[in-house]
Amino acid sequence: MLWDSLLRAEIGATQEQSLARYGKPERDALKQSGLLYFRKDGICTIAHFYKGTCDVLSLFSDKTESGVPVDLPADRIRSLLKSEGGSPDWSAAGCYSINGVWNTPDGKSFAIYDTMRHKLAIMTHDAYVREKAAVAKARADK
């Protein structure tokens, strides 16, 4: 069904699918940094695109207190994982952390809810590996 393909989970979506889902971005930084910034249904979404598909999402409330997004309730986080994370089945990671950490059953994606900043980050493991390599390269170049 065409509707399902346009409104599928955001991780793995193309830029066109993201625009169909969220509408016009508040900020378009695709050419500079591969990012689109959206605001919909009380949630700010920053989508990062690599080779034409979304592989990292940052989600947080559009309401703030003292300059920090308000905390997302646990049921909203679970809902966002299912709707945005590319998998309906997320499970809590078996690690000790003050943050919430989840994995997909296939191990291709994970999510972290930063309890201090009140932001949910969903990313593919490939994106994480690329990000770590870029940080290591930047440190080596100093």
The number of distinct structural domains making up the chain is 1
Report yes or no: 15 and 49 within 8 Å, Cβ to Cβ: yes
pTM of the model: 0.87
Q: How far is Cα 109 from Cα 98, in angstroms, rounded to an integer?
A: 20
> What pLDDT, on a 0 to 100 scale, did the predictor assign at position 6?
35
pLDDT tens-digit series, residues 88-140: 889 998 888 899 999 999 999 999 999 999 999 999 999 999 999 989 999 99
Q: Which domain holds residue 114?
A: 2-140
